[in-house]
């Protein structure tokens, strides 16, 4: 088993710039109290992560992130935002040191953990070593579809995907139960009173 | 006519978006995509319609009652494929039982297409249901906000 050394290429610059933009957008979302701006920035964040997934060769994940993260969840957040105040309540200042300590401790632990992570594309990495290797080698013989991701998603792990579909179905049922008010039968229009600015403060 | 450019653009784009959703749906074996992404693209076409023509018009084209039926049908389609493979003598979701003795795993192709169709129908109808329920509630605008 030969030692794997990560290949440094100009793509690294692209990755770095994408990750830097992700961090900038994340900080902008933290700083902003305007909920409309936060929703739009979260859409941009999803689009940037989709671009990052493309550069990691995970096109299926990128496609999903662009459709779900940047597309539908932005729309749903906007729809939800229209029902509430446009500005976020200012957070209580006295809790800030505790939150900062928790975030710093978690961040330090995560950064410490990255030192043990295998290099990107390492064939000896645990993810590629056992079952991943089998999927790549056996898909042409077992499933005979060109897209290995689809083979894993729909055939090898078809039962998992059935569970995921049930999760989405359950989410839809929950929304109908919570917000329905007879609209499932095409019923009456529902009107919510928007909180005034004084209440939102 | 109000917002003529928006209306015309939406009308032009509506059919290609649906067509693209179907492409993503049925091309999932060969390229990126599949039921999840296709369902969302399908839902997006109707969301665009709702933004341009109003939610009530979209509800006339695709009523909430039909969406609930589609949600159930999609999930049962997926689970039913699994049960069908069991009845044909295979395991749950063991698609090779659909076309036994095929040398190029034709059963896997059919099985994947069937379950992806179930996923697509469920995702599209659920996303539209959630969208209908959130945007169907109209906030009462305060007097000062006018």
B9 domain-assigned:
yes
Cα distance between residue A62 and residue A74, in whole Å: 16
pLDDT of residue A137: 87
B110 domain-assigned:
yes
With H, G, I as helix, E, B as strand and everything else as coil, classify residue A118: coil
For B133, the token pair is 């329920």
Is the Cβ–Cβ distance between A60 and B116 less than 8 Å?
no
Is the Cβ–Cβ distance between A191 and B141 less than 8 Å?
no
Name B63's Cβ contacts closer than 8 Å, sequence gap at least 6.
Answer: A186
When CB atoms are compared, the residue of A147, A159, A172 closest to B30 is: A147
> What is the count of structural domains for chain A?
2
pLDDT of residue A108: 96
Tell me, what CATH number does A61's domain have?
1.20.120.1200
pLDDT of residue B87: 92
CA B122 to chain centre: 6
Q: Smallest CA–CA separation between B64 and chain A, in Å?
A: 6
A40 domain-assigned:
yes
pLDDT of residue B56: 86
Cα distance between residue A72 and residue B127, in whole Å: 8
Q: Report the residue of A35, A83, A168 to disrupt the B interface, i.e. the one with the largest count of B CBs within 10 Å.
A: A168
Where chain B has pLDDT below 50, the residues are 146
pLDDT of residue A188: 54
pLDDT, greater one: B83 or A86: B83
A81 domain-assigned:
yes
A162/B115 touch (CB, cutoff 8 Å), yes or no: yes
pLDDT, greater one: A122 or A163: A163
For residue A186, pLDDT over 50 is answered with: no
A188 domain-assigned:
no
pLDDT of residue A2: 62
Give CA angle at A192 (A187, A193), nearest 5°. Answer: 150
pLDDT, greater one: B105 or A165: A165
For tokens 């991701």, the residue is A149
Is the Cβ–Cβ distance between B138 and A191 less than 8 Å?
yes
Q: Is the dihedral of CA B13, B17, B19, B23 positive or negative?
A: positive
pLDDT, greater one: A18 or A141: A18
B22 domain-assigned:
yes
Please choose, from the candidates A103, A155, A16, A71, the residue with its C-alpha nearest in 3D space to the C-alpha of residue B82: A155
Give CA angle at B73 (B71, B79), nearest 5°. Answer: 110
Domain that residue A156 falls in = 125-183
Please choose, from the candidates B85, B62, B72, the residue with its C-alpha nearest in 3D space to the C-alpha of residue B121: B72
A76/B65 touch (CB, cutoff 8 Å), yes or no: no
ipTM, 2 dp = 0.89
Distances (CA, A) of B125 to A176, B24, B48, B101, B132: 12, 17, 15, 36, 10
CA B144 to chain centre: 41
Q: A130 and A84 share a domain?
A: no
Domain boundary among A63, A88, A113: A88
Chain A nearest-CA residue for B36:
A64
A109 domain-assigned:
no
For residue A106, pLDDT over 70 is answered with: yes
B68/A194 touch (CB, cutoff 8 Å), yes or no: no
pLDDT of residue A177: 86
A147/B29 touch (CB, cutoff 8 Å), yes or no: yes
Q: A23 and A81 share a domain?
A: yes
A161 domain-assigned:
yes
For tokens 């493979």, the residue is B85
| Over residues A180-190, mean pLDDT | 54
pLDDT of residue A27: 94
For residue A119, pLDDT over 90 is answered with: no
Banded pLDDT at A187 (limits 50, 70, 90): very low
Q: A17 and A84 share a domain?
A: yes
B11 domain-assigned:
yes
For B8, the token pair is 């015309």
Q: Where are the alpha helices (DSSP H) in chain B?
A: 4-26, 35-53, 55-61, 64-87, 106-135
A25 domain-assigned:
yes
> What is the count of structural domains for chain B?
1
For residue A181, pLDDT over 70 is answered with: no
pLDDT of residue A161: 94
Distances (CA, A) of B102 to A139, A144, A149, A198, B26: 16, 11, 22, 70, 21
pLDDT of residue A144: 84
pLDDT, greater one: A25 or A146: A25
Give CA angle at A30 (A73, A111), nearest 5°. Answer: 95
- Least confidently predicted of A116-130, A134-148, A159-173, B10-24: A116-130
| Over residues A37-62, mean pLDDT | 93
Domain that residue B27 falls in = 4-137
A96 domain-assigned:
no
Q: Smallest CA–CA separation between A26 and chain B, in Å?
A: 25
**Chain B positions in Cβ-Cβ contact with residue A155 (cut-off 8 Å):** 93, 95, 108, 111-112
């Amino acid at each position: 088993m030969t030692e794997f050394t990560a290949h440094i290429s100009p793509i690294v610059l692209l990755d770095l710039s994408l990750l830097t933009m992700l961090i900038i957008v994340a900080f902008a979302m933290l700083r902003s109290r305007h909920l409309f701006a936060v929703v739009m920035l979260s859409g941009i964040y999803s689009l940037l992560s989709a671009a990052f997934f493309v550069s990691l060769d995970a096109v299926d994940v990128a496609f999903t992130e662009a459709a779900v993260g940047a597309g539908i969840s932005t729309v749903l957040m906007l729809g939800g935002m229209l029902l509430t105040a446009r500005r976020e309540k200012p957070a209580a200042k006295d809790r800030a040191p505790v939150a900062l300590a928790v975030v710093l401790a978690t961040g330090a632990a995560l950064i410490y953990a990255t030192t043990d992570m295998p290099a990107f594309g390492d064939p000896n990495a645990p993810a590629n070593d056992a079952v991943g290797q089998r999927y790549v080698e056996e898909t042409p013989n077992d499933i005979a579809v060109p897209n290995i991701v689809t083979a894993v998603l729909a055939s090898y792990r078809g039962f998992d995907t059935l569970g995921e579909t049930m999760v989405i179905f359950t989410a839809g049922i929950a929304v109908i139960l919570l917000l329905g008010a007879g609209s499932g039968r095409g019923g009456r229009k529902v009107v919510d009173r928007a909180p005034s600015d004084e209440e939102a403060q | 006519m109000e917002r003529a450019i928006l209306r015309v653009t939406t009308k032009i784009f509506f059919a290609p978006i649906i067509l693209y959703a179907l492409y993503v749906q049925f091309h999932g074996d060969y390229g990126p995509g599949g039921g999840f992404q296709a369902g969302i693209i399908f839902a997006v076409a109707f969301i665009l319609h709702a933004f341009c023509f109003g939610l009530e018009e979209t509800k006339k084209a695709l009523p909430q009652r039909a969406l609930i039926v589609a949600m159930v049908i999609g999930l049962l389609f997926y689970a039913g494929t699994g049960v069908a493979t069991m009845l044909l003598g295979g395991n749950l979701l063991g698609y090779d039982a659909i076309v036994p003795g095929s040398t190029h795993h034709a059963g896997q192709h059919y099985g994947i297409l069937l379950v992806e169709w179930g996923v697509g129908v469920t995702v599209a109808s659920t996303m539209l249901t959630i969208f209908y329920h959130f945007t169907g509630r109209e906030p009462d605008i305060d007097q000062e906000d006018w």
